[in-house]
Amino acid sequence: MRLYSATTNGLEARACCLLSSNRRRWTRSPGAALANKLQSGNWNRLSREKTELPTRWCRSGGTAAKGKDKTARLTSGCFVLYSPRARQMNSEELLRPLVENRRAWVQAQRDHHRRSARKLTLSEKVALSPFFENRTLDIARVKRVPLIENPGFYVDDFTNSHGITFMDTILVSDRYCPSTEPLVPLLFHELVHVVQYALLGRDAFVERYVLGWAENGQDHFRIPMESHAYALQARYEANPLQGFSVEAEVRRHLGLP
């Protein structure tokens, strides 16, 4: 996460940029100059940990507004804020709108796709049972989709993902994982996320995931819960016949009893 500062029209402003490659330009509103200043790089880098931030913001699409609830909002990868009246906000507070949007998206996607998703096959259960509890294998559902779609609010790209898990429902991308390829290794990875969701609950999972993404350079592979899932998948693929408890490993990684 990057925090920036600038002064335009006498207003000291702050911005939290979550996606430095974003090149969108705002062409309307008093906040447009500040947004474009951020885009052009004419901002001073601030501390990554904490900084003073104002309570007005420039919305996506170039419109400006004053938040009635005094809450900064995420807009196309940046918070662009331009009030001279500032308050302290840490990174977790800045990311709160993204966390809340993702929670709602996860629930909606789970509810939408689960009704048409299938259970694990017997052969899949046999292959995965040395690693996962029966309750995990019984509750999991799988559905193939043409590709993983991006939500409208997010600043990351899911379209090149092989799969994604919404709580207990796994989507598999036909584009990157055709039916001719073995599915069990991908299912193993996604079932690790099913276990993480089960142990943490939806809300805590999403918050940890988003914070891990923001704190690690917006790099999907460096998110702690993702990197652990990849590590467990690699351990499985190295020796598919040597079972171990994924749940025990996830509990240990998450610091749970």
Considering 46, 64, 89, which residue would you say is the last residue of a domain?
89
One domain, residues 114 and 217: yes
- The residue ranking higher by pLDDT, 108 or 81, is 108
What is the domain count for the chain? 2
One domain, residues 83 and 101: no
One domain, residues 61 and 164: no
pTM listed for this prediction: 0.70
Give pLDDT, residue 214: 86
Give pLDDT, residue 11: 37
One domain, residues 85 and 137: no
Tokens of 203: 């809300």
Domain that holds residue 128: 96-254
| For range 170-188, the mean pLDDT | 93
Q: Is the pLDDT of residue 159 over 50?
A: yes
| For range 86-98, the mean pLDDT | 62
One domain, residues 108 and 161: yes
| For range 181-190, the mean pLDDT | 95
Contacts of residue 188, defined as CB under 8 A and 6 or more positions apart, other chains included, come to: 128, 131, 232, 233, 236, 237
| For range 242-255, the mean pLDDT | 98
One domain, residues 189 and 64: no
* Residue 14's pLDDT band (cuts 50, 70, 90): very low
Could you give the CA distance from residue 41 to residue 24 in angstroms, rounded to a whole number? 13
**For 6-15, 85-94, 100-109, which range has the lowest pLDDT when averaged over its residues?**
6-15
One domain, residues 135 and 248: yes
Q: Is the pLDDT of residue 108 over 80?
A: yes
* Residue 92's pLDDT band (cuts 50, 70, 90): low
Could you give the CA distance from residue 100 to residue 203 in angstroms, rounded to a whole number? 9
pLDDT tens-digit series, residues 16-25: 444 333 333 3
Tokens of 196: 């993480």
Measure Cα distances from 154 to 19, 177, 202, 220 in Å: 10, 23, 18, 13
Phi, psi at residue 181, to the nearest 5°? -95, 150
Strand 163-166 and strand 141-145: pairing? unpaired
One domain, residues 8 and 37: yes
- The residue ranking higher by pLDDT, 183 or 89, is 183
pLDDT tens-digit series, residues 220-234: 899 999 999 999 999
Give pLDDT, residue 91: 60
**For 72-76, 98-102, 203-207, which range has the lowest pLDDT when averaged over its residues?**
72-76
| For range 64-72, the mean pLDDT | 35
Beta-bridge mates of residue 165 = 170
| For range 159-169, the mean pLDDT | 95
